[in-house]
Chains A and B, each alone.
Chain A
Amino acid sequence: MMKLSLGPILWFWSKQTVFDFYAKAAEWPVDTIYLGEAVCSRRRELKPDDWFDLARDLKACGKEVVLSTQTLIESEADLRRLRRICDQNEFLIEANDQSAVQVAIRHHIPFITGPSMNIYNVATLKVLAKQGLKGWNLPVELGKDTLEQLINGLKQEGLELPAEVFAWGFLPLAWSSRCFTARHYNLPKDNCEFRCLEHPDGMELRSRESQELFRLNGISTLSGSRYDLMRELPAMDRMGVGTVRLSPEHQGMEEVVRRFDQVRRGGVPATDPLQLVEAPPCNGYWYGKPGMDLVAD
């Protein structure tokens, strides 16, 4: 059976909110939980030791835990935090850029690549497999045809490298040195007053015709529509996908997890996952179309 994972929390939530979220998640039918700050170096509600404690607690609850790394590494301080995450031998890490891959290699830690790592062909996977790659996420802009070719290519090479697919949530699409939340409030990035805490689902960016285009979330930009591949799970299963990733939202997540769990077991939910945060659905990337498109069954 395909595994279900909870990706790293891409938003900025208070420490208590994070703890409460994972206390509940420990009871949900997810197999793998990615923990850690993957977006902004200024988000330090949880210290590294808080994350490690949480990781051990979730492991004790039977979850496979992977420690996620920051996607855009810019400073020596970022590298120090990265080394801290890799300075252990209990958990896999999710490498979200080549800095993390390099540090993982040096620490002899096996790693999984996150969706922001550019894995577009089998030759790339072969390079990383030699260095300790244990699994990989399909880049969000790629679709089912490329995924199938990659999985078949790996089989031909005799490589056991399970694929993970981002299947539900707002798609992480870009990272910048600029903070768009601070920019909105006319604050300098270095003195941002942590305004992201006020936006647990990001800030909607709309066209002047009120079309939801993107969600601003600190230095990252996410899709304005919610990616939803629930109905594609049977196809993923046939293809040999290893893990299906759900991206945390602060409300309604349990319901989403339970419905995906039902579908992966061959059930058919009566309705789509609850849309507790108002946003249109999309699935275009899966079909090789513009990501924002919604292709009907």
Chain B
Amino acid sequence: MELVCPAGSLPALKTAIDNGANAVYFGFRDSTNARQFAGLNFNDKRAAEGIEYAHLRGARVFCAINTYPQPDGWEHWKGAVDRAANLSVDAIILADMGLLDYAANRYPDIPRHLSVQGSATSYEALSFYKDNFDIRRAVLPRVLSLDQVRGVAKHSPVELEVFAFGSLCIMAEGRCYLSSYLTDESPNTRGACSPAKAVRWQETPRGLESRLNDVLIDRYGQGESAGYPTLCKGRFEVEGSVYHAIEEPVSLNTLDLLPELQELGISAVKIEGRQRSPAYIADVARTWRQALDSVERTPGMFTVENDWRSTLSGLSEGGLTTLGAYHRKWK
């Protein structure tokens, strides 16, 4: 299984490769990718430098162009595909059917990966993307249980990549419009969820409040640690009770599932987090490299080592991890 790591910057890219990533993924410095953050991502010069660094070390580089262009942005998004092609990336990660069609016709020799934002949750959906755009690989949404992943993998016409570690989207990716409902930006339109420009922190007599476009997402009492106000991870009131009505702030961690994922023939595990620091990437990549090497060597004897677990817990939201939807009880 290939270890695919996020590269939000050139230092992060280099760190990921130095610590054992087989491939890294990056986006351009605009809203053509699903991690549009100030100060992150690549211009063409930095991207070329990163690609050279990776290729000299036998690692591959994927370019994510995984937001959805509207008519007035079409030329710009198409231009991003052209730029990726000119940079000789090893694959382009796409979600939009129009752009997939463009890339398949214009650059048939550059492999196309279906982004998680393409929302393919069944082998029928994967067959649609394979038949129409000849995709080589698809990233599965984080909504499937392990049994469901097994069903998809059994009949999949393409390679599969699954999320291994990082922030947990609990909604089917690519079809979640919650962020644009509260703010004017969503992952699909602008590559942003709960965008930083709409966030406001406020100390009040009732506690520290986090707001998104003025909507109260959470309020923290003394001693509670505050997290970024991703809107689905706030505390809300439903029928008189206040709780994390949608999801707690936790991270996905699938270390325990590695032997099963290998047995299912999954091609790659993906680390989320282009917004993370190089130091974070180093720790996560190193830990997963060790785990993957261990499961390759002795698949039947794999156990999760304590220091891997503690490293990853320390890097997780709220210090907590979950198997998420892979574990049916979570649902």
Which residues of A are interface residues toward B (Cβ below 8 A)? 71-76, 78-79, 82, 97-99, 101-103, 105, 116, 118, 120-128, 131, 139-142, 145-146, 149-150, 153, 171, 173-180, 183-184, 188-190, 203-211, 213-214, 216, 221, 223, 285, 288-292
A72 with B178: CB separation less than 8 A: no
Residue of B nearest to A222 (CB): B181
B37 part of interface (Cβ distance < 8 Å) = no
Among B122, B181, B325, residue most surrounded by chain A Cβ atoms (within 10 Å): B181
Is A290's CB under 8 angstroms from B71's CB? no
0 or 1 for each of B203-223: is its CB under 8 Å from A? (1 = yes): 000000000010111010000
14 further A-B pairs in the complex, CB-CB below 8 A; given A118-B119, A118-B175, A290-B183: A73-B124, A99-B122, A121-B74, A126-B98, A175-B171, A176-B170, A177-B145, A184-B239, A205-B238, A213-B182, A214-B181, A290-B180, A290-B181, A291-B181
List residues of chain B with CB within 8 A of the CB of A175: 171-172, 175-176
Contact B151–A120 (Cβ < 8 Å): no
Chain B residues with Cβ under 8 A from A122's Cβ? 71, 74, 98
Say how far A262's CB is from chain B's closest CB, in angstroms: 29
The one of B121, B180, B189, B236 that contacts A207, using a Cβ cutoff of 8 Å: B236
Rounded to whole Å, the gap between the CB of A69 and the closest CB of chain B is 11
* Contact residues of B between 84 and 143, Cβ < 8 Å to A: 95-99, 101-102, 118-122, 124-125, 127-129, 131-132, 143
User: Considering the chains assembled together, what is the distance between the CA atoms of A189 and B151 in angstroms?
Assistant: 20
Contact call B71/A121, Cβ cutoff below 8 A: yes
**Cβ-closest chain B residue relative to A118:** B68
Q: How large is the interface on B (under 10, 10 to 19, 20 to 34, 35 or more residues)?
A: 35 or more
Q: Check: B35 CB closer than 8 A to any chain A CB.
A: no
CB A171 to nearest CB in B, in angstroms, measures 7
When distances are taken between beta carbons in the complex, the residues of chain A under 8 Å from B216 are 207-209, 211
Q: Inside 8 A of A223's CB, which chain B residues have their CB?
A: 181
B306 partner residues in chain A, CB cutoff 8 A: none
B4 to chain A, nearest CB (A): 22
Measured CB to CB, the residues of B under 8 A from A are 68-72, 74, 95-99, 101-102, 118-122, 124-125, 127-129, 131-132, 143-145, 148, 151, 170-172, 174-178, 180-184, 186, 188-189, 213, 215-217, 219, 234-239, 241-242, 245-247, 325, 328-331
CB proximity of A268 to chain B, nearest CB, Å: 29
Query: Which listed residue, B96, B241, B330, touches A118 by the CB 8 Å rule?
Result: B96
* CB proximity of B3 to chain A, nearest CB, Å: 25
Q: Which of B74, B121, B151 has the most CB of A within 10 A?
A: B121
CB A294 to nearest CB in B, in angstroms, measures 13
> With a CB–CB cut-off of 8 A, which chain A residues contact B127?
102
Q: When the two chains form the complex, which single residue of A125, A178, A184 contacts B238, counting CB atoms closer than 8 Å?
A: A184
What residues on B are CB-neighbors of A211 within 8 Å?
215-216
Known A102-B125, A285-B180, A291-B177; contact A121-B235, beta-carbon cutoff 8 A: no
- Name 11 A/B residue pairs within 8 A (Cβ), A-sorted: A127-B101, A141-B188, A150-B71, A153-B71, A173-B177, A175-B172, A176-B172, A184-B245, A188-B331, A207-B236, A213-B215
Question: Which A residues are CB-close (under 8 A) to B171?
Answer: 174-176, 221
